[in-house]
């Protein structure tokens, strides 16, 4: 049983977690730059602690990250060596529009990505571009309040027009917003939102979400106008919710939690707010203000494919029980006693990937794309830069098997698979370097020490074999 020819194997990164060069060649400051490491990070990314600029008491890992800004040729060369067919990456908005609201884009920023895409094509690698991966120019946050402001749609639209035109012929696959449902859990990182005291946070989040959903539909419209070969996808943090028990109240809670995530895809793929959301928004007073024409736009410009990240399933219980919750993930979850847990407390559930793919495909019947899946772990490196990361290989092998079952046994239409992340980079949730995901080791630690030297782990050779056998040799 095989994946189809042309199945897009590869890896995924995000600009702010790997590029560094935060102030190079005219790049403007962004929300992701001012997210520090340490215990206050979660307060910052959730919008509870306002951090609008650097503070010398903190360390900011994205300023330098792994300096892919200057290493991209070497890194793409390594991806090519593994046989990548696709490389998912993101554009840093503030390289293109440093402030976000200026008339003309920054040529140096545009040139950087043009060079990067050409480098990919030189190696036969198709770029898959996330237009915004948790980033927003800081000026748009200070001046307009981030995505709570409807004007953001215009700024985003301008960004899209510029990049669709500039990269026509170089890029075909686009994702409008990374993990769009993350706005509910990390609103500052996801949408540049900070809250005032006493504010109805949920109302603000859904208003901002509405703006993003309209912006996503507009991007789809423009992408099709500019080049009919463009394919546009939405992207959400997936992972089906399991009821902890057969108690109907657990089952109902799980259904509601799933809907919290599906809501976004329901709009982006089916083209309208689902009834359950409209009812709840009415009840809670969180209904966003819509402008004339929004509903038509949402209905007309639905996505071509649905992409998702999958790290784990989720689990929910309604009784107090022993009340054990799984830690480490922004999605609060009951501890599932049937699963093992990673060093960061994330459940490991390969079958959950098959279950999730089936749920999503049944619901939307559009091609799917797994654009993130991987294991964050501590690596022990030898003096040659080699890591024997069998735990990572095991994790990926089991998930790829589950994905293969979903495709070959269940008939899920899957375009491709990109691991998070092919090269060690900064963790979004914790800001650590030492939560490593890569096939390629990077010599840099949590405090920013290290030579940035790249070296191949055991999993590098393993993934190369997986790709060359099109998923047969696991």
Contact status: 43 vs ligand P53 (CB under 6 A): no
Contact status: 376 vs ligand P53 (CB under 6 A): yes
Classified as helix, coil or strand, 302 is coil
Choice between 192 and 288, CB closer to ligand P53: 192
By CB under 6 A, name the one of 37, 427, 446, 459 that touches ligand P53: 427
By CB under 6 A, name the one of 78, 428, 433, 442 that touches ligand P53: 428
Classified as helix, coil or strand, 459 is helix
Q: How far is the CB of 6 from ligand P53 (least distance, A)?
A: 25
Contact status: 309 vs ligand P53 (CB under 6 A): yes
By CB under 6 A, name the one of 131, 234, 237, 433 that touches ligand P53: 237
By CB under 6 A, name the one of 119, 135, 179, 258 that touches ligand P53: 179
Question: Segment near ligand P53 (CB under 6 A), from 54-62, 93-101, 335-343, 420-428?
Answer: 420-428
Q: Of 424, 295, 413, whose CA–CA distance to 365 is shortest?
A: 413
- Give the helix, strand, coil percentages of the chain, each rounded to 5: 40, 15, 40
Contact status: 422 vs ligand P53 (CB under 6 A): no
What part of residues 325-354 is at the interface with ligand P53 (CB under 6 A)?
329-330
Contact status: 148 vs ligand P53 (CB under 6 A): no
**Which residue's CB comes closest to ligand P53?**
429
Q: How far is the CB of 311 from ligand P53 (least distance, A)?
A: 5
Query: Which residues, in sequence order, are CB contacts of 319 under 8 Å at separation 6+?
Result: 247
Question: Segment near ligand P53 (CB under 6 A), from 35-43, 158-166, 249-257, 429-437?
Answer: 429-437
**Cα separation, 112 vs 118, whole angstroms:** 10
Alpha carbon distance, N-terminus to C-terminus of the chain: 13
By CB under 6 A, name the one of 349, 372, 379, 424 that touches ligand P53: 372
Would you please indicate which residues are annotated as catalytic (active-site) residues?
372
Number of H-type helices and E-type strands within the chain: 15, 16
Q: Of 365, 373, 180, 368, whose CA–CA distance to 262 is shortest?
A: 180
Choice between 176 and 427, CB closer to ligand P53: 427
Choice between 230 and 373, CB closer to ligand P53: 373
**Cα separation, 318 vs 456, whole angstroms:** 45
Contact status: 429 vs ligand P53 (CB under 6 A): yes
Contact status: 177 vs ligand P53 (CB under 6 A): no
Q: Is 101 left (phi over 0), alpha (psi -120 to 50) or beta?
A: alpha
Classified as helix, coil or strand, 13 is coil
Choice between 207 and 430, CB closer to ligand P53: 430
The total number of residues written for the chain in this structure: 474
Residue appearing with tokens 């403007």: 28
Query: Which residues, in sequence order, are CB contacts of 131 under 8 Å at separation 6+?
Result: 90, 91, 156, 159, 160, 163, 174, 175, 176, 177, 219
In this structure, what token pair is assigned to residue 37?
Answer: 């490491």
Contact positions vs ligand P53 (CB under 6 A): 14, 17, 178-179, 237, 309, 311, 329-330, 372, 376, 420, 427-430, 435
């Amino acid at each position: 049983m095989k994946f189809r020819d042309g199945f897009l194997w590869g890896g995924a990164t995000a600009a702010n977690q790997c590029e560094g060069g935060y102030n190079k060649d005219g790049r403007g400051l962004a929300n992701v730059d001012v997210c520090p490491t340490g215990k206050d990070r979660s307060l910052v990314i959730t919008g509870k602690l306002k951090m609008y600029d650097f503070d010398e008491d903190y360390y900011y890992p994205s300023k330098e990250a792994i300096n892919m800004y200057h290493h991209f040729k070497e890194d793409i060369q390594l991806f090519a060596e593994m046989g990548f067919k696709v490389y998912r990456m993101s554009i840093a908005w503030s390289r293109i529009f440093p402030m976000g609201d200026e008339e003309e884009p920054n040529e140096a920023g545009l040139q950087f990505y043009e060079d990067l895409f050409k480098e990919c094509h030189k190696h036969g690698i198709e770029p898959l571009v996330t237009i915004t991966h948790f980033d927003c120019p800081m000026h748009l946050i200070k001046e307009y309040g981030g995505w709570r402001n409807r004007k953001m749609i215009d700024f985003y639209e301008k960004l899209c027009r510029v990049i669709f035109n500039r990269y026509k012929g170089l890029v075909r696959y686009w994702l409008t917003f990374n993990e769009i449902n993350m706005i509910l859990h990390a609103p500052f990182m996801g949408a540049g939102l900070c809250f005032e005291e006493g504010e109805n946070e949920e109302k603000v989040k859904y208003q901002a979400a509405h703006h993003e959903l309209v912006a996503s539909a507009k991007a789809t419209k423009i992408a099709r106008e500019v080049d009919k070969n463009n394919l546009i996808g939405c992207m959400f943090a997936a992972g089906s919710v399991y009821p902890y028990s057969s108690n109907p109240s657990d089952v109902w809670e799980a259904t509601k939690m799933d809907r919290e995530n599906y809501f976004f895809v329901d709009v982006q793929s089916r083209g309208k707010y689902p009834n359950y959301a409209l009812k709840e928004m009415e009840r809670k007073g969180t209904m966003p203000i819509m402008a004339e024409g929004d509903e038509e736009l949402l209905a007309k410009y639905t996505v071509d494919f649905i992409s998702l990240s999958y790290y784990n399933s989720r689990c929910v219980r309604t009784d107090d029980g022993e009340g054990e919750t799984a830690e480490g993930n922004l999605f609060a979850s009951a501890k599932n006693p049937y699963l093992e847990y990673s060093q960061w407390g994330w459940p490991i559930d390969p079958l959950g990937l098959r279950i999730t793919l089936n749920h999503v495909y049944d619901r939307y019947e559009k091609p799917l794309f797994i654009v993130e899946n991987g294991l964050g772990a501590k690596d022990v490196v030898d003096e040659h830069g080699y890591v024997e990361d069998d735990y990572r290989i095991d994790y990926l092998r089991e998930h790829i098997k589950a994905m293969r079952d979903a495709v070959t046994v269940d008939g899920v239409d899957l375009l491709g698979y990109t691991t998070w992340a092919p090269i060690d980079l900064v963790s979004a949730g914790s800001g650590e370097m030492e939560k490593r995901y890569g096939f390629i080791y990077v010599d840099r630690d949590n405090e920013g020490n290290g030579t940035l030297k790249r070296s191949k782990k055991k999993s590098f050779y393993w993934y190369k074999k997986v790709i060359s056998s099109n998923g047969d040799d696991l």
